[in-house]
Amino acid sequence: MKIDRLLAIIIMLLNRNRVQARDLADHFEVSTRTIYRDIETINNAGIPIVTHQGNNGGLAIIDSYKLDRQVLTLKDMVTMLSVLKGVNSTFNDRQITHAIEKIHALVPEDKQNYVKNHLDRVVIDIMPWGTSPRQQEKMVSLQQAIANNMRCNITYQDSNGVVSQRKIEPMTLVFKSTAWYLFAYCTMREDFRIFKVGRVVRLAMLAETFRRKNVSWSQYDTMDTGSTKMIGLVIRFSKKIRHIVEEYFEHSQLEDLASGDMLATFELPDNDWIISYLLSLGDDAELLEPKYLRTILQKKAEKISNLYKHDIQVS
């Protein structure tokens, strides 16, 4: 977009004494004639740019013109760049890339190494390890559908393995805990739903647009949480994994035992996922309460144990 290029030219001229028109043309992949037209537009907007002749010549904003670039500190810029690059690791969005370039251009040349070193200290990448190109393409497609208010057809597999075909109006992508979720209006259910993106088996954008509804995903999330029954758990954790337990639980949820083990008391939503969570804790944790879940867990563990008592047989 022309406005993006004009803004980027102004930022580059603010941070450099002089810039050759040819260098600007190469950077933005346009002709020098286009650059000179851009310079005229910037001049007409009230930002005075002059041309210096000679070996050290080039385009420059006159020294008497002042624009305060200290609205953003270097720390502000590093923070913004970290967040934008983290988001762009998922979407590879051209507009986000342009925003990153603009912020980089605001950094004085003598501070570029400072920014680079600090960006290497904290990296935000919200895509899971081993993400396939297909998964990333799905995220990019959903982001584009949301941006352009495009309806989609999806094949969705729920937590029970039931597969259904849905036509949806995608509203918001939400990263929560360790997974991406899609907040959308489902035309089949005639209501809003939150879909786990990893369970979207197939996705196809349609040549149909929709009018975005005035509903926030956070409103739906609150309603959904309120309607979910919670269950209280009491788990004894081995002292061997104390460092892990303290990472995931609040101090108020933990009690130290004389043996060095820890007792954790907390709540989780009462659904099928809870058994998988308890099994994932392995032999370094023992569920004490509630008793009925302890019984279910014991039976599951016995079935798993029986699977490994015999030699492998494939028929």
Residue 260 lies in a domain: yes
pLDDT attached to residue 128 = 58
> Do 166 and 213 reside in the same domain of the chain?
yes
- Given a cut of 50, whether residue 3 has pLDDT beyond it is yes
314 lies in some domain = no
**Residue 255 half-sphere exposure toward CB, CA atoms < 13 A:** 9
Which pLDDT tens digit goes with each residue over 188-206? 888 898 898 888 989 999 9
Taking each helix axis from N to C terminus, what angle separates 94-106 and 74-91, rounded to the nearest 10 degrees? 160
245: left (phi over 0), alpha (psi -120 to 50) or beta: alpha
Give the strand order in the sheet containing 285-289. Answer: 254-256, 262-269, 230-237, 285-289
Per residue in 115-143, pLDDT (tens digit) is: 777 776 666 666 655 555 677 788 888 98
- pLDDT digits over 224-259, tens only? 444 457 889 999 999 888 888 887 788 888 999 999
pLDDT at position 185 over 90: yes
pLDDT of residue 72: 60
In this structure, the answer to whether residues 238 and 201 fall within a common structural domain is: no
pLDDT at site 227 = 45
In the chain, % of residues over pLDDT 70: 79
Q: Provide the mean pLDDT of the chain.
A: 80
Question: How high is the pLDDT of residue 315?
Answer: 57
Q: Are residues 169 and 221 in the same domain?
A: yes
- Average pLDDT of the residues in 160-182: 85
**Domain boundary pick from 61, 84, 110:** 61
Q: With respect to residue 66, please indicate whether it lies within any of the assigned structural domains.
A: no
Query: Do 168 and 220 have their domain in common?
Result: yes
Question: What domain range includes position 199?
Answer: 133-227
Higher pLDDT, 35 or 312: 35
| Mean pLDDT in residue range 138-154 | 89
Residue pLDDT, tens place only, 58-116: 888 887 665 454 456 767 777 777 777 666 666 666 666 777 777 777 677 777 787 77
201 domain residue, yes or no: yes
Domain-embedded: residue 251? yes
126 is a domain residue: no
What are the strands of the beta sheet with 191-196, ordered from one edge? Answer: 191-196, 179-186, 163-176, 150-157, 200-209
Q: Are residues 33 and 103 in the same domain?
A: no
Question: Could you give the CA distance from residue 233 to residue 250 in angstroms, rounded to a whole number?
Answer: 14
- Tell me, yes or no, whether 94 lies in a domain: yes
The beta-carbon contacts of 97-103 under 8 Å, at least 24 apart in sequence, are 98/4, 98/8, 101/8, 102/4, 102/7, 102/8, 102/11, 103/72, 103/77
pLDDT at 167: 95
Domain holding 10: CATH number?
1.10.10.10
Using the CB atoms, write b or e for 75-110: b if 16+ within 10 Å: eebbeebbebbebbebbebeeeeebbeebbbbbeee
Interhelix angle for 133-147 vs 74-91, to 10°? Answer: 110
- Domain assignment present for residue 127? The answer is no
pLDDT at 150: 94
Among the three residues 199, 227, 255, which one is the final residue of a domain in this structure?
227
Give yes or no: residues 151 and 95 share one domain. no
User: CA 104, CA 211: separation in Å to the nearest integer?
Assistant: 36
Top pLDDT among 1 and 272 is at 272
Domain count, the chain: 4
pLDDT on residue 225: 42
Among 184, 209, 227, the domain-final residue is 227
Q: Domain with 302 in it: what CATH number?
A: 3.30.70
pLDDT tens for each residue of 256-270: 999 999 999 988 877
Q: Which residues pair with 186 in a beta bridge?
A: 168, 191
What's phi and psi for 284, nearest 5 deg?
A: -95, 5
CATH code of residue 218: 2.30.30
Q: Does 291 lie in the same domain as 246?
A: yes
